[in-house]
């Protein structure tokens, strides 16, 4: 069949530039992230050792989210190492300040140099009984302070087996983003059954789900959804990173276990950085 004028021009541009203009626009607007969630792990000494070994990369956005007591020293280690790494909290309280024993406010996170904060992780939903209303309050608090919330969503095994994944994700998205019409945020799709189990979602399933998530985001924020980074999380590691990085709607990974060792975290970063250079 003869080529249409449009595809002839697209091919010509692709041959000359290595990509079409449309592709270039999408790629340049969506950031690729590799984010470490250390959860309740690491001592001060282990953190210092991590940054002695860690290489990082300029080609993707790298964020490390240590436990709260390590935020400030981690910021110092990052500065000392001169590596391109940003700092993130693992949780935040919804109030500005006050009588909330054991909690951390958004200004406290900002004070120690955080630019990101994980909100609504399934472990907090499970163990601290956080629901979508609370997640929404925390997201608003982060955006108001100029931090980028990494909003976690994901279905349990039971919800997956009873074919409720889409319903769960859409409810979590509409809940977390209620009354939010400005500010940057990241979505992390973390199927609960894949977290810490070694049973990572296949790249095809993750891509399919991310594409669904983007379609829901379109309903919520319109065309801006094209520029929102959607990360995959759940037993991501050096071996499966390449498959995830090749998918159109997977804009990076949120890594637990495999982020604890500098070498394996670097391995994942390298895969995504290579993908960026090739795009």
Ligand X SMILES: O=C(CO)COP(=O)(O)O
d(CA 250, CA 206): 8
Give me the least distance between CB of 152 and ligand X, in Å please.
Answer: 7
Give me the least distance between CB of 27 and ligand X, in Å please.
Answer: 25
Using CB under 6 A as the binding rule, whether residue 255 contacts ligand X is answered as yes
Q: Is 190 one of the catalytic residues?
A: yes
Please measure the distance between the N-terminal and C-terminal CA atoms of the chain and give it in whole angstroms.
29
Give me the least distance between CB of 254 and ligand X, in Å please.
Answer: 5
Which residues have C-beta within 8 Å of that of residue 9, sequence separation ≥ 6? none
13 contacts 20 by C-beta, under 8 angstroms: yes
Q: Which residue from 37, 56, 105, 240 is in contact with ligand X, where contact means CB under 6 A?
A: 37
Q: Could you tell me which stretch among 79-87, 105-113, 221-229, 254-262 binds ligand X (CB under 6 A)?
A: 254-262
Using CB under 6 A as the binding rule, whether residue 196 contacts ligand X is answered as yes
Task: With CA atoms as reference, report the closest residue to 185 among 219, 236, 138.
Answer: 138
Q: Which residue from 67, 120, 252, 256 is in contact with ligand X, where contact means CB under 6 A?
A: 256
Q: Which residue from 254, 268, 269, 271 is in contact with ligand X, where contact means CB under 6 A?
A: 254
Given the structure tokens 């630019």, which residue do they identify? 115
Cα–Cα distances (Å) from 175 to 120, 129, 133, 171, 226, in that order, read 11, 15, 6, 6, 20
Q: Is 121 one of the catalytic residues?
A: yes
Using CB under 6 A as the binding rule, whether residue 151 contacts ligand X is answered as no
Stretch 213-242 residues interacting with ligand X (CB under 6 A)? 233-236
38 assigned binding-site residue: yes
Size of the site for ligand X (CB under 6 A): 14
- Which residue out of 121, 123, 155, 159 is catalytically annotated? 121
Stretch 174-193 residues interacting with ligand X (CB under 6 A)? 190
193 assigned binding-site residue: no
196 contacts 257 by C-beta, under 8 angstroms: yes
257 assigned binding-site residue: yes
Task: With CA atoms as reference, report the closest residue to 136 among 102, 101, 85, 171.
Answer: 171
Give me the least distance between CB of 199 and ligand X, in Å please.
Answer: 9
Give me the least distance between CB of 92 and ligand X, in Å please.
Answer: 15
Using CB under 6 A as the binding rule, whether residue 104 contacts ligand X is answered as no
Stretch 47-86 residues interacting with ligand X (CB under 6 A)? none
- Which residue out of 93, 123, 190, 210 is catalytically annotated? 190
d(CA 165, CA 121): 16
d(CA 265, CA 255): 8
Token pair for residue 147? Answer: 């931090």
d(CA 30, CA 60): 11
Radius of gyration of the chain from Cα atoms?
Answer: 19
98 assigned binding-site residue: no
Q: Based on CB atoms, which residue is closest to ligand X, 27 or 199?
A: 199
d(CA 113, CA 85): 11
188 contacts 231 by C-beta, under 8 angstroms: yes
Q: Which residue's Cβ lies closest to ligand X?
A: 256
Any idea which residues carry the catalytic annotation?
121, 190
The annotated binding site is made up of 37-39, 196, 235, 256-257
List interacting residues with ligand X (CB under 6 A). 37, 121, 190, 195-196, 233-236, 254-258
């Amino acid at each position: 069949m003869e080529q249409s004028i449009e595809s002839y021009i697209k091919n010509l541009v692709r041959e000359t530039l290595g990509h079409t203009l449309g592709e270039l626009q999408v790629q340049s607007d969506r950031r690729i992230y590799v984010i470490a969630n250390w959860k309740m792990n690491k001592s001060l000494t282990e953190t210092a050792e991590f940054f002695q070994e860690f290489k990082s990369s300029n080609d993707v956005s790298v964020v490390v989210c240590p436990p709260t007591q390590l935020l400030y020293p981690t910021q110092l280690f990052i500065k000392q190492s001169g590596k391109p790494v940003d700092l993130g909290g693992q949780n935040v309280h919804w109030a500005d300040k006050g009588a909330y024993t054991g909690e951390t406010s958004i200004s406290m996170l900002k004070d120690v140099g955080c630019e990101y904060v994980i909100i609504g992780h399934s472990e907090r939903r499970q163990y601290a009984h956080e629901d979508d209303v609370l997640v929404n309050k925390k997201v608003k608090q982060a955006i108001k302070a100029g931090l980028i919330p990494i909003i976690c969503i994901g279905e349990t095994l039971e919800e997956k087996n009873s074919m409720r994944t889409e319903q769960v994700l859409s409810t979590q998205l509409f809940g977390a983003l209620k009354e939010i019409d400005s500010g940057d945020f990241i979505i992390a799709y973390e199927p609960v059954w894949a977290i810490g189990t070694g049973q990572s979602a296949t790249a095809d399933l993750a891509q399919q789900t991310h594409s669904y998530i983007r379609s829901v985001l379109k309903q919520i924020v319109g065309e801006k959804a094209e520029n929102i980074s959607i990360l995959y999380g759940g037993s991501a590691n050096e071996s499966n990173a390449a498959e995830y990085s090749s998918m159109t709607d997977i804009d990076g990974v949120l890594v637990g276990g495999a982020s604890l060792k500098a070498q394996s975290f670097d391995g994942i970063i390298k895969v995504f950085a290579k993908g960026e250079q090739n795009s």
